[in-house]
Amino acid sequence: MPSLYAAAILGVVEGLTEFLPVSSTGHLIITGHLLGFTGDKASSFEVAIQLGAILAVVLLYWSRFWGLFFPVHGQRFSGTRGLYLLFLTSLPASVLGLLAHDAIKKYLFNPYTVAWALLVGALMILFVERKERKASCFTLDELTPKLAFGIGCFQCLALWPGFSRSAATIMGGMILGAKRKIAAEYSFIAAVPIMFAATGYDMLKSYKLFTVADMPFLAVGFVISFISAWIAVKGFIYLLSKLTLRPFAYYRLALAPLVLFFWS
């Protein structure tokens, strides 16, 4: 394993990019190559530290997650209805991801497909932000089953490494009528079940790659990922009250050739 400094750097990159519409995959590819940390073990480490980012969202939106199991009076996004909405959002990508997991790993994890995903995602962001859409959903409590399932269908785009799960769900929410800020907040919350399932599945298949000696490296990456994700989510929500998603699209356009350079 590389040094603990490398684990900290990767943790920062994972936490800052996981919930922003810029693709954590592309950033981790570049960072891993700069640090000389690549291969199966590196890929599994990147999956493992996602748990830190997931935990940050759970704590930031603790009242919402708590309400899913202990319904809050007056909140429609709580209890069985809230769980049902999350189930509808998670279903399409979960089923498709399970069926296509091996094919995705085999055919889509290369510099060309990731670069194209960054490019296509950027162009879609610019298209979605081209004109103001009339919103019909202004709070999480106004989410409907139809909207939740529609966002879930858009989330399938995130199975294309480099596209960005956050970008897919936020754009999907905006296209289907959610206010930009609400689309982002629901994107964070909806990420938890599908990311937890995907991370757990991947770790079950690759945990033998790690030994007890690797635990400090994993722990540093996990903690730093948690702190970075906390900062990124809070900052992103603040920025969305002042900016559109266009700056992230321009950034993706610049990142695409860097992925080709560092991975090829």
Model confidence pLDDT, tens digit, residues 38-91:
887 888 888 889 989 999 999 999 999 999 999 988 899 999 999 999 999 999
Average pLDDT over residues 224-230: 97
Share of residues in the chain with pLDDT > 70 (%): 99
Please state at what angle helix 165-175 crosses helix 145-155, rounded to 10 degrees: 140
Average pLDDT over residues 216-230: 94
pTM higher than 0.85, yes or no?
yes
Is residue 262 over pLDDT 70?
yes
CA-based angle 226:24:194, to the nearest 5?
70
Average pLDDT over residues 182-208: 86
- With beta carbons less than 8 A apart as the criterion, state whether 26 and 239 touch: no
- With beta carbons less than 8 A apart as the criterion, state whether 114 and 261 touch: no
Q: Which tokens sit at 171?
A: 């754009």
Q: Mean pLDDT, the chain, as a whole number?
A: 91
* Distance (Å, whole) CA 215 – CA 95: 32
Q: Residue 117 is part of which domain span? A: 4-263
Q: Environment class of residue 131 by beta-carbon count within 10 Å: exposed (0-12), middle (13-18) or buried (19+)?
A: exposed
Amino acid at 137: C
Q: Which tokens sit at 209?
A: 């790659």
Report how many domains make up the chain: 1
Query: 203 versus 177: which is more confidently predicted?
Result: 177
Read off φ and ψ for residue 210, nearest 5 degrees.
-105, 150
Is residue 207 over pLDDT 80?
no
**CA-CA distances (angstroms) from residue 13 to 46, 49, 164, 181, 211?**
10, 10, 14, 23, 24
pLDDT of residue 88: 97
pLDDT in tens, 104-147: 888 888 889 999 999 999 999 999 999 778 899 999 999 999 99
Q: Environment class of residue 30 by beta-carbon count within 10 Å: exposed (0-12), middle (13-18) or buried (19+)?
A: middle
> Which of 168, 185, 159 shows the shortest CA–CA distance to 238?
185
pLDDT of residue 241: 83
* Distance (Å, whole) CA 215 – CA 222: 10
pLDDT of residue 173: 97
- Cβ within 8 Å of residue 13, ≥6 positions away: 24, 27, 28, 31, 228
Is residue 1 over pLDDT 70?
no
Query: 126 versus 197: which is more confidently predicted?
Result: 126
**Helix, strand, coil share of the chain (percent; to 5):** 80, 0, 20
Amino acid at 174: M
* Distance (Å, whole) CA 36 – CA 101: 26
- Matching residue, tokens 């202990």: 70
